[in-house]
Structure 1
Amino acid sequence: MISPLIWLALGTFVVGTEGFVIAGILPAIAADAGISVAQGGTLVTAFSLSYAFGAPVLATLLGEVDRRRILAGTMILFAASNLAAALTSSFLALLLARVVMALSAGLYAATAQATAIALAPPERRARAISVVVGGTTVAVALGAPIGALLATLTGWRGTFAAIAALSAVAAVAILLKIPAHLRGTRIPLRERAMTIVKPGLLPILATTLLAMTGGFSVFTYLAPLAVEGTGLPAVVIPGLLLAWGVGAALGNFIGGQAADRYGARTTATFSVLGLSIILAIISLAAKLLSPALAGPALIVLTVLWGIVGWMLLPAQASRLVALQPASAPVSLSLNASALYLGVALGSVVGGAVINVGTPADLGWTGAVATLLALVIVLATERLPALRRLQDLPEGSVP
């Protein structure tokens, strides 16, 4: 019998695939809409802002509703919004569809993790969450590249249609396989917001925000960077996303292991420093190397980028849980909001860079943001709340 957690993971795979495939199909969408790629980046900005601010509000309002209804309902809404995106002829309608996708995706992700905890015995809760979150990792490694490849065969509308169909399958599976009458406790929005002022939390959230800003100022416009910046053919984009995704899957695993062995703060420091260097080298390669060398170099650097960049997320989660164990659900949701705010800010910054410069300049901008994240990690080392956590292994309670 297939575990109910697998069906929850199918949902996170679906929403993760849509969230990451946009980088591969953005140029095609912009071309059809008759706008620049930078203007098309508002699709990423709108999604990320809606996810960051909408998910906590919806989770607060619907915290006591039957979780199976929320999970199935959000999947149905996600399917409908993807179908609308596939059928629309208006960029504004597509933008609104992505807002609805973000709201449903954010609520689904928060509810799926809470449901996994409710379904698992105490000694298996961490593994249950890892199964659900693993859907996102698979989406990064396989879903986004397959979605981009599908777009090259059927057009970008075909990708949205396929995601809509898979969302419907996930909704049916949830209705059939997830037990009813699982209800949570509603955490007031004020309590969620007040968690931010707890000692040591804000620097960790700022690190996530800046690291994501740097990474996604480049990733959002990976397709024009590859084609215009390094001379790779457009047909290579799905492979480039696959390279990044495989690296990300490895990085997520390595980051968790490194946080256990060497400490979460050390892992976070290595991640943001390494990411800064890699992003800077990407621009350096695009500027100085011939297309015959710049393209292959970008592919190699993209794998390294995925590994080093995704080492940060498990380290940050470990730091948050160790900082305030009792407030972990709220602080982790705030970290997710910081992550998506960083994605939104990165898409805006990257679009501005393309407007005034070239895609080859994106790496410099990304490196600056990630260096600022490094400064925060190093500068806050001596704060009492964070000094207690220095190099604590994952899961430790100070």
Structure 2
Amino acid sequence: MDKRLVWLALGTFAIGVEGFVIATLLPAISTDLGVSISQAGYLVFAYAIAYAIGSPVLSAVTGQFDRRALLAVVAVVFGSGALFAALSQGYGMLLLARVIIAACAGLYAATAQATAVSLAPVERRARAVSLVVAGTTMAVAFGAPIGALVSGVAGWRGTYFAIAVVGYLTAIAIWFMLPAGIKGDRRSIGERLAVLSVPGILPALLTILLYMVGPFAAFVYLGPITTKGMGLAPGLLPYVMLSFGVGAAIGNTLGGQLADRLGATRTVVFASVASAVMLVLLSAIPMLPAGVVGPVYFIFMFVWGVVAWTFLPAQVSRLVAMAPTSAPLALSLNASSLYLGTALGAVVGGQVIEQLGVNEIGLVAAAFPVLALLVLYASRPSRALQMPRLG
């Protein structure tokens, strides 16, 4: 293993912690800044939009830059954005801070993966990229729960101070551990978007967009779902996140294995159906006797983490198979579609809370994985007459 990749993964870890811990911070942010929980949810919407648009645009603009210098600078700006968030004195300042963080996150993730490819020999490039991406998996499984625990001790601002420190440490490590002179990708935005002309790519991107709306309509509002919907104490939020995160780490591995054995499209179908079922169950748990809601909810969160993250590696496999010669470009657009789905999920979940109540989020959210399935089915090859033959 090339130890230099570990320092690239440290950056994706910091990005992942910030991106996922926000779900446990929203109630505290809402109270501290005097906004409603749905307004606090727009912090996720702004982040996701900035990530989705900023990643391809900034990657094209900075494509000619030396990657070591670019990654170090982006890590510094990311850390400064987190510091700005920690010191923000109003909702507008925090919103701006999250936009800065998101733009850096998108550019860092794309550049770090491309750098991993450059550093690794041809036969080890897939493993190199997977190691960098593993930083995100570790962030979901362990980093975000730790961030939630920090929030319980030092407040949500303390969590952002900690994220800022990790961002600065990443910049220092990259500057000293990576070689200079790693060439960037000089392709324009138009050249990057040309992959959309590959048959099947557009429906695949719409599929992940719709799919992500469902889980994130609920996940973004994990705080009020846990405390108001399930009636659990706020101090249990880090452990709820840990349960989900461990499941997500397993699901990420399981999704790749299922895609290899059953086919990527079949795995996407399975994950979409299972996700819709889990979201319906989320709304059913509060109907159980009070004494069993807590244990059932923790088990649910673990299983939901497995199911939700099974989808992602299978989706990646589908895209790579569709555009093997343009895989990095296709995956960049996949990330943008993912975050657009996250943004819409934040809006949908917020509106459900305001109009229907927190316990109805799961029922509404379940419709979106079903819509993703309909797009998948409608875009199937004409020779595929039955669902079991997909993939």
TM-score by length of structure 1 reads 0.95
| Structure 1 segments of 4+ aligned residues over 6 angstroms from their partners | 384-387
Distance between the aligned counterparts of 1:187 and 1:179, measured in 2? 22
CA contact (8 A) 1:262 1:391 kept: no
Distance between the aligned counterparts of 1:384 and 1:86, measured in 2? 55
Query: Who is 1:358 aligned against?
Result: 357
SS at match of 2:30: helix
Query: Who is 2:98 aligned against?
Result: 98
Larger mean CA deviation between 298-307 and 143-152 belongs to 298-307
Structure 1 residue 293, shift from structure 2 partner: 2.2
Distance 1:204 1:385, change over 3 A: farther
Structure 1 residue 2, shift from structure 2 partner: 7.1
* Residue 179 in structure 1 maps to residue 179 in structure 2: yes
Distance between the aligned counterparts of 1:291 and 1:76, measured in 2? 47
Larger mean CA deviation between 17-26 and 298-307 belongs to 298-307
* Residue 47 in structure 1 maps to residue 44 in structure 2: no
Q: Which whole-Å deviations, capped at 9, do the CAs of 1:52-100 have from their partners, x for residues lacking one?
A: 0011000001111000011101100011010011111111001000000
Query: Who is 1:277 aligned against?
Result: 277
CA contact (8 A) 1:209 1:341 kept: yes
* Residue 291 in structure 1 maps to residue 290 in structure 2: yes
Listed as ranges, the matches of 1:206-217 within 5 Å are 206-217=206-217
Distance between the aligned counterparts of 1:187 and 1:281, measured in 2? 45
CA contact (8 A) 1:86 1:160 kept: yes
Distance between the aligned counterparts of 2:122 and 2:358, measured in 1? 48
Query: Who is 1:396 aligned against?
Result: none
Q: Which whole-Å deviations, capped at 9, do the CAs of 1:363-385 have from their partners, x for residues lacking one?
A: 01110111111222223223579
Q: Which whole-Å deviations, capped at 9, do the CAs of 1:173-219 have from their partners, x for residues lacking one?
A: 00000110101221211122232232111111111101110000000
Query: Who is 1:34 aligned against?
Result: 34
Distance between the aligned counterparts of 2:291 and 2:71, measured in 1? 48
* Residue 251 in structure 1 maps to residue 247 in structure 2: no
Distance 1:386 1:235, change over 3 A: farther
Distance between the aligned counterparts of 1:365 and 1:54, measured in 2? 29
Structure 1 residue 296, shift from structure 2 partner: 2.2
Distance between the aligned counterparts of 2:221 and 2:26, measured in 1? 8
TM-score by length of structure 2 reads 0.97
CA contact (8 A) 1:25 1:156 kept: yes
Structure 1 residue 301, shift from structure 2 partner: 1.2
Listed as ranges, the matches of 1:151-170 within 5 Å are 151-170=151-170
Larger mean CA deviation between 149-158 and 370-379 belongs to 370-379
Distance between the aligned counterparts of 2:328 and 2:384, measured in 1? 19
Distance between the aligned counterparts of 1:145 and 1:121, measured in 2? 35
C-alpha RMSD of matched pairs (Å): 1.7
Give the letter aligned to residue 57 of structure 1. V
Q: Which whole-Å deviations, capped at 9, do the CAs of 1:18-53 have from their partners, x for residues lacking one?
A: 000000011000100111110000110000000000
SS at match of 1:86: helix
Query: Who is 1:19 aligned against?
Result: 19
Q: Which whole-Å deviations, capped at 9, do the CAs of 1:90-112 have from their partners, x for residues lacking one?
A: 11001000000000110000000
Query: Who is 1:346 aligned against?
Result: 345
Give the letter aligned to residue 46 of structure 1. A
Distance between the aligned counterparts of 2:57 and 2:385, measured in 1? 28
SS at match of 1:187: coil
Query: Who is 2:223 aligned against?
Result: 223
CA contact (8 A) 2:44 2:220 kept: yes
Identity score, percent: 49
Give the letter aligned to residue 323 of structure 1. M
Q: What are structure 2's unaligned runs of at least 5 residues?
A: none
Distance between the aligned counterparts of 1:384 and 1:332, measured in 2? 27
Query: Who is 2:379 aligned against?
Result: 380
Distance between the aligned counterparts of 1:170 and 1:7, measured in 2? 7
Q: Which whole-Å deviations, capped at 9, do the CAs of 1:128-148 have from their partners, x for residues lacking one?
A: 001000000000000000000
CA contact (8 A) 1:232 1:291 kept: no
Distance between the aligned counterparts of 1:368 and 1:298, measured in 2? 21
Distance between the aligned counterparts of 1:197 and 1:304, measured in 2? 37
Query: Who is 2:132 aligned against?
Result: 132
